[in-house]
Structure 1
Amino acid sequence: MTIPVLPAVVTLTAAIVYQGTMFAVAFARSQHKVKAPATSGPEEFERVLRVQQNTLEQMMFFLPVFWLAALSSNTSVACLIGFIWVGARIAYGIGYWKAAKLRGPGFAISLLASAVLLVMAIVGLFN
């Protein structure tokens, strides 16, 4: 079996970013004394939790369209866009952790990257 290495690296990178958000939530729980299963607390904690939740929500869309685009269209372009998505999610997280108003650019870029991958997947599958 031949593993498509570059798409696998993009996927692992996305998973590592998500894992980082989970560690950030655990740290924020400890720092702000928010015991599980509570999901509310100081605004600083809630922003960290929202980064983790939103990243998971976005991954549910990103991963299938990324793989469909990578396998049915131009793999290199799909991987470049995949890495842009990962970088945008990092920017989103860092921005949101600092202040809610700073989350916009990272969110918008990751949303656009996902939309481009969706178009690539559709065109690749039906072309």
Structure 2
Amino acid sequence: MYHFTALITLLAILMYFFTCINVARSRGRTGVKVPAMSGHPDFERAFRIQMNTLEWMPIFLPSLWLFAIYISDAIAAAIGAVWIVGRIVYFVGYSKAAAKRSPGFAIQGIASIALWAGALGAVVLRLV
């Protein structure tokens, strides 16, 4: 069973849901009306946080699950938790200024690469 990985998946989805709500709240605070996608720097940063999280989900989630299946549920979940922490650091930093997004981006990027590389290595080893 993959209970830890399932929990991390649900927390990652919650994190993404939170970024969606943040964009809606930012629209209200900044006056950027739908369907506009720009107009106020605070809104634009909130929107980019949401979109960047969405862009990474198709890399993160399959890698997380393949790592869990081929290597370890607990280790996948631990690395997945690091990814979520990275996304939170990214959110906090980028919300303040675009230049402050890098540490969180690096944390989540390294976690994603670790999951992907681990899964790829485990699959290849089983094919040989």
TM over 0.5: yes
Q: How many angstroms apart in 2 are the aligned matches of 1:36 and 1:20?
A: 19
Q: Once superposed, which parts of structure 1, at least 4 consecutive aligned residues long, lie more than 3 Å away? A: none
What secondary structure, in the 3-state scheme, does the structure 2 residue paired with 1:108 have? helix
Deviations for 1:34-91, whole angstroms, at most 9, x for unmatched residues? Answer: 1111100111110000000000001111000110001111221111000000010011
- Work out the number of aligned pairs and report it: 125
C-alpha distance in structure 1 between counterparts of 2:12 and 2:19, whole Å: 11
- Give the unaligned 5+ runs of structure 1: none
2:82 — aligned with what? 84
TM-score between the two structures when normalised by the length of structure 2: 0.95
Give the secondary-structure state (helix, strand or coil) at the position aligned to 1:41. coil
Q: 1:73, 1:123 within 8 Å by CA — same for their partners in 2?
A: no
1:107 to 87, 98, 105: 105
Give me the TM-score of the superposition, normalised by structure 1: 0.95
Counterparts in 2 of 1:3-82, with a 5 A limit?
3-82=1-80
CA RMSD in angstroms, aligned pairs only: 0.8
Q: Is the 8 A contact 1:10 1:82 kept in 2?
A: yes
Is the 1:69–1:118 contact (alpha carbons within 8 Å) kept by the matching residues of 2? yes
Identity of aligned residues (%): 42
Alpha-carbon distance between aligned partners in 1 of 2:76 and 2:9, rounded to the nearest angstrom: 12
Paired with 1:12 and 1:19, the residues of 2 have a C-alpha distance of: 10
